Amino acid sequence: MRALPGRWVAAALVAWLWLAFAGCRRVPLPGPPAVRVVRILDGDTLEVLRDGRAERVRLWGIDCPERGQAFGSAARRFTGDLAFGQNVVLRSHGTDGYGRLLAEVILPDGRNLNQELVRAGLAWWYREYASEALELARLEQEARAARRGLWSDADPLPPWEFRRSRGARTGAPLMRDGR
């Protein structure tokens, strides 16, 4: 009985592929490099270690209460609890007028620190600088409705108004054009 040439070629190809890939293992594609959080300055500003140098990062799209303002310490503590000492991934959104990197901080478990602060009621969605961040808008509405964190106050004072009332230059994210 004579074997069909097509079957012989197919069997040879399968055997060759099996031999060629039998010893190969899957290697994950590299993602963005992680950086280590080495300092928490306040709820929305931290420092990371990148290439042996500290780099200041301002969390993009949010504004946490300032030191001396209601919930300012709680926001700083929350940020520290989630991020300090962790290897995180930064999603850059450029730099601010102070030279700080504006970024979303992705925690080791995949959560977005910026979103977690808003969800917990410890930050405002910073509409003026991140109008396209609709998830932050949704999370702020959710926190307001549940009266979480700063939304438990009858009339919480936004940090940009707090800074303006004190005449402070404490970290409002200025854009390149000085806004």
pLDDT digits (tens, 9 = 90+) for 104-140: 999 999 999 999 999 999 999 999 999 999 999 999 9
Q: Establish if 178 belongs to a structural domain.
A: no
* Residue 123: closest CA among 132, 131, 115: 115
Catalytic status, residue 58: yes
Domain range spanning residue 77? 35-166
Q: How many domains does the chain have?
A: 1
The catalytic residue among 66, 104, 116, 140 is 66
Q: Give the start-end residues of each E strand in the chain.
A: 35-42, 45-50, 53-59, 62-63, 87-95, 101-106, 124-125
* Residue 65: closest CA among 104, 121, 132: 121
Catalytic status, residue 128: no
> Binning pLDDT at 50, 70 and 90, where does residue 32 land?
confident
Domain containing residue 77: CATH number: 2.40.50.90
The span from the CA of 113 to the CA of 80, in Å, is 10
The catalytic residue among 47, 76, 100, 116 is 100
* 33-48 pLDDT per residue, tens: 899 999 999 999 999 9
Q: Which residue bears the tokens 């964190």?
A: 149
Instruction: Specify the pLDDT at position 25.
Output: 53
Q: At 27, give phi and psi (nearest 5°).
A: -115, 120
More confident site: 20 or 134? 134
Catalytic status, residue 119: no
The span from the CA of 25 to the CA of 87, in Å, is 26
> Binning pLDDT at 50, 70 and 90, where does residue 179 land?
very low
Q: Establish if 20 belongs to a structural domain.
A: no
